[in-house]
């Protein structure tokens, strides 16, 4: 095949492999980005789940305390039910909402059917003076009046009733009033004993929402599990036991943990509720009654996360409901009172917690205005380590979409930016691709270099065959012609016959030298040098080959000058004399070919001794060697037939063979260009 055909096949092979690897690279990078996106999305969802638990943990004590408040605390003062004093006045107690307003609440309100709006924190007239004298702070009353004036335009009795649930956690009927003689007896009618215990204290109505389809698919595939040691622990926003001045219940009147967890609807999956002065609140540290809490947690992470947080909220609210009615001493209500479930809702940009309360056949709305700005800052600070760029967006009840990023306590959704999906510069996939491309490039480069070397070798072998054929044809033609003339007696003159015989001898030496070089190079190529090293001296080595070198120089009308001193002649070394003789003969033969026309007909052979080497240099006074010739001077078979015909006979093997022989002897052969012109070859051999 021609060289261009071989290179075309090589290019076609690269054209097949490279696009295939490029396509695999594109697909692998796309899969890498998708995998990274899925992993970061899963990590973000895990952080979102933890953040939701933390935020609901913070909000639960506040909302549960507000939702569980008895209806009579929404008045500046209430009767305690104790016997009248000396002056005949019925004892009364300052409302805890006025005595110690809770944090994150701007004002409490009560909306009546006739449109009248009141607040327990804005007493007026004689009641205001009494409240100030009994611990109410004037600045608290002033702040409440300002907040109530700002809230008043947004409050409408009918609109609020339309947004609030109708069921209630506890109903006190007229027939029950005679038996309710003390707060402890009132507390006995708890959700544990009432047929209406299925009604929650706080009803945000989020459990009916379903996640969007993409969330359901993600939940079916599976989400990362929280480790057993990573349950959120948050400090409550306020004291879950109530404000200052609320007496602590006796131990026998407190609702135990077992009673709370026995609630049939709100405590499923809840294991513990902790609270109290100076304690950490863990309202959402839940686990099912199974032997493997981790498995239960992974199951609830799927689609019931919102329901679990709502269940924990209801359990804490029920507990707070019981505690408040056990701790607050108040006279029995003169009318039937039905307290409805509370609900957090938005009126414009105002966040309210409100409920309906039926008092004697009339329905009023009680609630509070939450300080959303302060709550938002506090919630964002709580989850800053998980979601530094989180935003809290109000979510009105009529616009809820069932997103799993919804808080269970208040209608607020978490908005976080999508995680970045750009892989690292040296991700495992990219490293693998770089290795694959590097292997392809190295393989292609190695194949190209090998292919070029094979083609070059093939060309050199073709040139060698042509050159050897030419070199053999010339002496064979001379042999045949002179032999026929001598055999036919065509040369009667004795001197002429002698010249013919000398020519035949010269051609025989030339042919023998060519064959010897080719055979020696073939042996070196096969790794078998074919010579033996022996102990000798430089004088003995020179004596062995000096006459042959001189004869070759004399045949080209040149003179060989040997420069060596007596100490150098006695220098011993271990080498192959035959290989050294062949190297020197090739150098002299090369000088005879290219320096025969020089004006100075001398060839200088110098021998010198170095500490560990001997140095043999051979210099002629010819035209020297060009830069292009230097690059391929020691390359075997570098001379073509045309070059041999136009310059000097030969196949371009002598110098290449000489360098190979020098390397095999442990030395080296180099070309130097002296300043006076010509060429100088330096052979160094180890001593």
Tens digits of residue pLDDT in 673-683: 787 788 899 99
pLDDT tens per residue, range 545-591: 898 899 888 888 899 999 998 888 999 999 999 889 989 998 998 88
Tally Cβ neighbours within 10 Å of residue 250. 9
Measure the CA angle with vertex 520, ends 514 and 627; round to 5°.
70
Cα 100 to Cα 96: distance, rounded to the nearest angstrom: 6
Could you tell me whether strands 559-563 and 602-609 are parallel, antiparallel, or unpaired per DSSP bridges? parallel
Burial class (CB in 10 A: 0-12, 13-18, 19+), 678: buried
Q: For residue 284, which phi and psi values (nearest 5 degrees)?
A: -120, 20
232 within 8 A of 53, measured Cβ to Cβ: yes
Region 356-372: mean pLDDT is 92
Q: Please state the rounded mean pLDDT for residues 347-358.
A: 93
User: Residue 635 — φ and ψ, nearest 5°?
Assistant: -90, 130
Q: Is the pLDDT of residue 187 over 70?
A: no
Q: How does pLDDT run across 87-129, given as a tens digit for each residue? A: 556 788 899 999 989 999 999 999 999 999 999 999 988 888 9
Q: Which residues contact 416 (CB under 8 A, 6 or more apart)?
A: 44, 48, 387, 389, 390, 391, 405
SS3 106: strand
Given a contact cutoff of 8 angstroms between Cβ atoms, the answer to whether 390 and 414 are in contact is yes
pLDDT, position 215: 40
Average pLDDT for 153-157 = 93
Query: What distance lies between CA 397 and its chain's CA centroid?
Result: 41
Region 194-202: what's the mean pLDDT? 58
Angstrom distance (rounded) from CA 233 to CA 426: 37
Q: Is the predicted pLDDT of residue 382 greater than 90, yes or no? A: yes
What's the pLDDT tens digit per position in 240-265? Answer: 333 333 333 333 333 333 333 333 33
Terminal alpha carbon distance of the chain: 49
Question: pLDDT tens digits, residue range 421-441?
Answer: 777 778 888 889 999 999 999
Comparing 258 with 368, the larger pLDDT belongs to: 368
């Amino acid at each position: 095949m021609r060289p261009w055909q071989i290179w075309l096949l090589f290019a076609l092979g690269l054209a097949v492999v490279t696009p295939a690897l490029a396509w695999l690279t594109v697909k692998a990078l796309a899969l890498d980005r998708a995998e990274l996106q899925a992993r970061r999305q899963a990590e973000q969802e895990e952080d979102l789940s933890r953040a939701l638990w933390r935020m609901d943990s913070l909000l639960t004590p506040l909302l549960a305390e507000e939702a569980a408040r008895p209806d009579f605390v929404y008045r500046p003062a209430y009767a305690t039910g104790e016997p009248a004093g000396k002056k005949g006045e019925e004892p009364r107690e300052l409302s805890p909402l006025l005595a110690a307003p809770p944090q994150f609440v701007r004002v409490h309100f009560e909306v009546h059917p006739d449109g009248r709006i009141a607040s327990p924190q804005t007493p007026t007239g004689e009641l205001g003076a009494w409240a100030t004298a009994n611990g109410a702070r004037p600045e608290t009353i002033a702040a409440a009046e300002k907040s109530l004036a700002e809230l008043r335009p947004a409050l409408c009795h009918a609109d609020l009733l339309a947004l609030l649930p109708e069921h209630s956690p506890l109903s006190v009927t007229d027939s029950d009033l005679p038996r309710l003689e003390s707060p402890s007896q009132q507390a006995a009618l708890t959700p544990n004993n009432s047929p209406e215990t299925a009604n929650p204290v706080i009803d945000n109505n989020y459990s009916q929402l379903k996640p969007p389809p993409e969330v359901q698919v993600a939940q079916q595939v599976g989400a990362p599990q929280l480790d057993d040691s990573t349950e959120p622990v948050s400090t409550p926003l306020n004291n879950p036991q109530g404000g200052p001045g609320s007496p602590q219940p006796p131990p026998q009147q407190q609702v135990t943990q077992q009673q709370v967890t026995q609630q049939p609807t709100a405590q499923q999956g809840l294991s513990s509720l902790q609270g109290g002065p100076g304690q950490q609140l863990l309202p959402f540290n839940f686990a099912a009654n199974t032997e493997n809490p981790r498995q239960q947690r992974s199951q609830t992470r799927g689609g019931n996360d919102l329901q679990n947080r709502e269940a924990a909220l209801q359990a804490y609210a029920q507990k707070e409901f019981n505690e408040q009615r056990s701790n607050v001493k108040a006279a029995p209500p003169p009318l039937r009172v039905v307290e409805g479930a509370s609900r957090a809702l938005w009126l414009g940009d105002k966040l309210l917690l409100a409920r309906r309360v039926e008092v004697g056949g009339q329905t009023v709305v009680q609630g509070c205005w939450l300080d959303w700005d302060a709550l938002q800052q506090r919630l964002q600070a709580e989850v800053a380590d998980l979601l530094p760029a989180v935003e809290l967006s109000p979510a009105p009840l009529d616009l809820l979409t069932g997103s799993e990023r919804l808080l269970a306590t208040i209608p607020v959704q978490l908005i976080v930016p999508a995680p970045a999906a750009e892989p690292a510069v040296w991700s495992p996939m990219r490293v693998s691709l770089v290795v694959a491309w590097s292997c392809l490039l190295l393989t292609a480069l190695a194949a190209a270099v090998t292919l070029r070397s094979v083609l070059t070798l093939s060309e050199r072998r073709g040139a060698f065959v042509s050159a050897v054929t030419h070199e053999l044809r010339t002496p064979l033609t001379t042999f045949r012609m002179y032999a026929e003339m001598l055999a036919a007696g065509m040369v009667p003159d004795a001197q002429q016959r002698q010249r013919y015989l000398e020519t035949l001898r010269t051609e025989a030496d030339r042919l023998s030298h060519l064959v010897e070089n080719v055979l020696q190079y073939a042996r070196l190529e096969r790794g078998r040098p074919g010579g033996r090293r022996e102990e000798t001296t430089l004088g003995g080595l020179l004596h062995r080959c000096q006459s042959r070198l001189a004869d070759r120089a004399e045949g080209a009308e040149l003179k060989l000058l040997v420069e060596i001193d007596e100490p150098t002649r006695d220098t011993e070394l271990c080498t192959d004399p035959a290989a050294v003789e062949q190297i020197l003969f090739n150098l002299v033969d090369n000088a005879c070919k290219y320096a025969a026309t020089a004006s100075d007909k001398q060839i200088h052979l110098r021998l010198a001794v170095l500490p560990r080497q001997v140095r043999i240099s051979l210099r002629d006074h010819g035209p020297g060697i060009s830069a292009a010739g230097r690059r391929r001077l020691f390359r075997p078979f570098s001379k073509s037939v045309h070059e041999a015909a136009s310059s000097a006979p030969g196949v371009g093997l002598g110098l290449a063979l000489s360098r190979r022989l020098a390397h095999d002897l442990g030395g080296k052969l180099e070309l130097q260009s002296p300043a006076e012109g010509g060429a100088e070859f330096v052979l160094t051999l180890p001593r």
